[in-house]
Structure 1
């Protein structure tokens, strides 16, 4: 296949590129390299199977790359949930407007398939946990979650209006090698600055589901190859959860440290933080995919990869 990957130099995007290349796809990466890291894809750039187009989706001169493509994997977005409450305009532009521009470019180029990475935060503070795909009402509490939900709606509308097909994936916390943000990266940075004390945002009881990135990619590709609705929406995560304090314990054990924990207080870590999150993956399992890792195993793998 000829695949387009927006955000292909990013954390999840670069792992997706690894998978697509290993499967024999010709891949065009469209990435502004603002949050993406060229080192994550450098091993592919000398290959005739991968080409990098350094471009901002909010500007032009990338749309022609979609000509002749079979599928667009749209991963480009602003991944910082916390920052979205500080700079909502940036989140809206880099997520909603960028997604609309991708869909328009697809429509004009005749590309009929899109894969979109959404988020568990579209559910807001769900009253049903584990939370299924059919949960309502969808009331995001962060600009990030609201932006992703708006993109889901746009994609659905384009699919039904222009005979496209989509796969929308609502992720739990995806972690692992090459991640540049999140609780593990934050803790490691703090402990390198001061190994005797670790600041933990909130009360440390925030409890969520985590999944290692390569297991996430396996789930994505399995769903794409085994589902065929006009709009295919699936949760991807593990079947358990761990607290922020437990993640701190795992990390400190791996680093051989015994710092004092200092909690900032409150049941949220920041504005827009969902304190309890676990996705219902029954639909994914019914399709035939069962994650091979749980949250604790995923955290341990991610910690070791980040410390290397």
Structure 2
């Protein structure tokens, strides 16, 4: 299997690379390193297990590298939900325009399969929780969510128009080693700078579902191996949720900080486009044989420990 991974030097992409190397795939990673880190994959490059091409999906010159590929894992994206409310254009370009470029390169070079990482934010503020894949209407409330929804639509249309096969995965909050954004990363950095107080955006009552990046990658590969429609789409997450305040308590505990006061900025959401309550239904994944083995709390605690080591240099 010749697999191309866009964004393969990033958080989820590098963990996917780990899994595909173990599977024995021939792998090409395309990454502009704007948020990815070459350290995540340099051992594979040095050993020859992975070929690396530094390129921007909005530019030209990388498209011919798709020749002969069997499958594209399109992971590259701008994931900053908060920034999308301030400067929408870069999010649109890096998500929608880049995805169109990937699909066109696939069409031109007859690449038959694409795996795409979408998001729970395509559902907006769902009134049905846990939220199933067939929930309607899907009304995203962030620019980021809207771009991912647009990408899903483009992928579905290309799959049906050009004899491709697609898998789209709507993720809960994916956390763990090598992450460079999100609430855990944010809290640890805040407490490292000032261990006497923790600022929490919103009222701290926001509740969301979390899953480890390893569990996420395993679920993706399981679904790809066990579903075979022209357009396959699945939620991936845990079957519970945890509040932002509870995450703060776990982090202070893991950092051995006692009696840290929490300061809340107020309001029921942390930023424009934040969805205060999110839990995805994973019944569709379970119907093809996937067994969820993690809780949000367990995933958060494990992610906190690995992130503290990375950020604070603790052993």
Partner of 1:118: 118
Matched, 1:265 2:270: no
Deviation, structure 1 residue 47: 2.2
Cα deviation, residue 48, structure 1: 2.1
Cα shift readout 1:224-244 (whole Å, capped 9, x = no counterpart): 000000000000000000000
Deviation, 1:45, is 1.0
Correspondence for 1:46: 46
RMSD, aligned CA: 0.5
Q: Which residue does 1:136 correspond to in 2? A: 136
Partner of residue 55, structure 1? 55
1:150 to 2:150 alignment: yes
1:274 matched to which residue of 2?
Answer: 275
Q: Where do residues 218-237 of structure 1 align in structure 2 (5 Å cutoff)? A: 218-237=218-237
Deviations 1:88-135 (A, max 9, x none): 000000000000000000000000100000000000000000000000
Please list the CA deviations of residues 32-57 of structure 1 after superposition, one character each: whole Å capped at 9, or x if unmatched.
00111111111211122201100000
Cα deviations across residues 160-210 of structure 1 (Å, max 9, x unaligned)?
100000000000000000000000010001001110100000000000000
Structure 1: 4+ residue segments shifted above 4 A: none
Residues matched between the structures, number: 308
Structure 2, gaps ≥5 residues long: 310-315
SS in 1 for 2:59: coil
User: Normalising to structure 1: TM-score of the pair?
Assistant: 0.99
Q: What is residue 3 of structure 2 aligned with on the other side?
A: 3
Aligned partner of 2:289 in structure 1 is: 288
2:195 aligned partner: 195
Matched, 1:85 2:85: yes
State yes or no: 1:252 paired with 2:252.
Answer: yes
**Unaligned residue ranges in structure 1 (runs of 5+):** none
Task: Give the Cα–Cα distance (whole angstroms) in 1 for the partners of residues 139 and 148 of structure 2.
Answer: 12
Cα distance in 2, alignment partners of residues 104 and 192 from structure 1 = 45
Residue 70 of structure 1 corresponds to 70
